């Protein structure tokens, strides 16, 4: 740990792995792994995360390429969705005898 990058030491970079469990479902984050390049990341992901038919499709992406919101930002960041109750169907009063609405 003397300031050299992991790659310089021969260590492989970190990838995040997303698996589509079956057709019709989204890819879901399942974990991470190390690999020398994208192609190796895919085959490692297959061996590590789909040994029992857990997936029909895999995405891998270098962890450093992911941009994420932080917990600290949470309240103000998600504020725009908190104060618009009129976006929900239950906001509207419709008489019970109106059918199919």
Partner 1 sequence: MAAQHAAADAPPDTGLQRDFDRTIAREQRIEPRDWMPDGYRRTLVRQIAQHAHSEIIGMQPEGEWITKAPSLRRKAILFAKVQDEAGHGLYLYAAAETLGADRADLTERLIEGRQKYSSIFNYPTLSFADVGVIGWFVDGAAICNQVPLCRSSYGPYARAMVRICKEESFHQRQGYELLMTMMRGTEAQRAAVQDAVDRWWWPSLMMFGPPDENSPNSAQSMAWKIKRHSNDELRQRFVDMTVPQAEKLGVTLPDPELRWNEERGRHDFGTPDWSELQRVIAGDGPCNAERMARRRAAHEDGAWVREAAAAHAAKQAARAARAARERKGAAA
Using CB under 8 A, list all residues that contact partner 1: 1, 6-7, 9-12, 14, 16, 31-34, 36-37, 40, 47-48, 51-52, 63-64, 66, 68, 70-72
Q: State the nearest-atom distance from the C-beta of 35 to partner 1, in Å.
A: 8
Residue number, 32 or 85, with CB nearest to partner 1: 32
Distances, alpha carbon 89 to alpha carbons 60, 79, 82, 83, 99, in Å? 37, 20, 15, 15, 15
- 84: buried, middle or exposed (CB in 10 Å: 19+, 13-18, 0-12)? exposed
Q: State the nearest-atom distance from the C-beta of 91 to partner 1, in Å.
A: 27
Residue number, 25 or 36, with CB nearest to partner 1: 36
Instruction: Let me know how many helices (H) and strands (E) the chain has, helices first.
Output: 2, 3
Q: State the nearest-atom distance from the C-beta of 76 to partner 1, in Å.
A: 15
């Amino acid at each position: 740990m003397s300031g050299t990058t992991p790659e310089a030491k021969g260590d492989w970079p970190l990838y995040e792995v997303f698996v589509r469990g079956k057709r019709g479902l989204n890819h879901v984050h399942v974990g991470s792994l190390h690999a020398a390049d994208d192609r190796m990341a895919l085959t490692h992901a297959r061996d590590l995360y789909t040994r029992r038919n857990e997936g029909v499709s895999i995405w891998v992406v270098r962890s450093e390429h992911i941009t994420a919101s932080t917990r600290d930002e949470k309240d103000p960041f998600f504020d725009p969705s908190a104060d618009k109750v009129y976006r929900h169907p239950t906001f509207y009063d419709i008489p019970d005898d109106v059918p199919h609405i």
